[in-house]
Amino acid sequence: MTSAQLNGIEIAYETHGSGFPVLLTHGYSATLEMWRGQVEPVGAKYRLITWDMRGHGQTDSPDDPAMYSEAKTVDDMAALLDHVGAPKAVIGGLSLGGYMSLAFNLKYADRVAALMLFDCGPGYRKDEPRAAWNETAMQRAQNFEQNGLAAMGASAEVLVARHRSAQGLAHAARGMLAQVDSRAIDSLEHIRVPTLVLVGANDTPFINASQYMAAKIPGAKLAVIPGAGHAANIDQPAAFNAAVLEFLDGLNLA
């Protein structure tokens, strides 16, 4: 793992392999460690870039809550791509990382060669379900503030995470996990790059969202991984990697 001073904070990241860049972003309260099972197979053919979002892992956790937002996260992604010399990349992520990939495509569409959306949703068009989601995000923030890193969950991608700041995770829940508008879901039918939507067959909360995204995004491919839950890449790495490599290998990347 290495780091770079980007957008006023120290961002931890790794690169593996060579070839066309593939940027993968982890989920909320996970870290780049969740992608260990993808390093060898993906890095053998592509330049895999993984990183810790602000407030997570070994990346800085600013004290100012205003330093955490969707906009700052996608700008961090762009700055990291600049730093490693990747003007364009395949952009992918799981859970919050998948949502941030959609947000990145909204602002930096010219830098996106393809999208990979794993076990995630596109946000909400209606205020009521968005408010319910945000209430859960606020509860997670409060839990970290009250209980520290002992508030970490037991999901597969979180179990391999090592964080420095519970307060950073609380700020990230309020500023990055919480959502403010319907721009991401409204963008689906306007996406013009090849897209893989992948979900674990047992990831019940995200099955419908994944089917919805696959139906709305023109030409999107849907892959459902048997025997996998929310962390499909960890639960069933062989099937996950096969689906990802089949998608990547079918792209005209240059």
pLDDT computed for residue 43 by the predictor: 97
pLDDT computed for residue 156 by the predictor: 83
We report the CATH number of the domain holding residue 166 as 3.40.50.1820
Instruction: Grade residue 155 by pLDDT with cuts at 50, 70 and 90.
Output: confident
pLDDT computed for residue 238 by the predictor: 98
For 201-228, what is the mean pLDDT?
98
SS3 content of the chain, % helix, strand, coil (to 5): 50, 20, 35
Determine how many CB atoms are found less than 10 A away from the CB of residue 136: 12
Q: Is residue 43 part of a domain?
A: yes
For 40-54, what is the mean pLDDT?
98
What is the per-residue pLDDT across 164-202, written as a single tens digit (0 to 9) for each?
A: 999 999 999 999 999 999 999 999 999 999 999 999 999
Q: Which of 130 and 156 is assigned the larger pLDDT? A: 130
Residue 254 predicted with pLDDT over 80: no
Q: Is residue 119 part of a domain?
A: yes
Residue 248 predicted with pLDDT over 80: yes
Q: Is residue 188 part of a domain?
A: yes
pLDDT computed for residue 153 by the predictor: 79
Tally of structural domains, the chain: 1
Q: Is residue 106 part of a domain?
A: yes
- For 83-152, the three-class secondary structure string (H helix, E strand, C coil) is HCCCCCEEEEEECHHHHHHHHHHHHCHHHEEEEEEECCCCCCCCHHHHHHHHHHHHHHHHHHHHHHHHHC
Residue of 207, 202, 209 whose CA lies nearest to 121: 209
For 85-100, what is the mean pLDDT?
98
pLDDT computed for residue 154 by the predictor: 78
For 219-231, what is the mean pLDDT?
97
Q: Is residue 254 part of a domain?
A: no
Q: Is residue 22 part of a domain?
A: yes
pLDDT computed for residue 191 by the predictor: 98
Q: Is residue 146 part of a domain?
A: yes
Q: Is the pTM of this model over 0.85?
A: yes
Using CA atoms, how far apart are residues 147 and 87, in angstroms rounded to an integer? 41
Residue 48 predicted with pLDDT over 90: yes
**Which domain does 17 fall in, by range?**
2-249
What is the per-residue pLDDT across 111-148, written as a single tens digit (0 to 9) for each?
A: 999 999 999 999 999 999 999 999 999 999 999 999 99
What is the per-residue pLDDT across 60-92, written as a single tens digit (0 to 9) for each?
A: 999 999 999 999 999 999 999 999 999 999 999
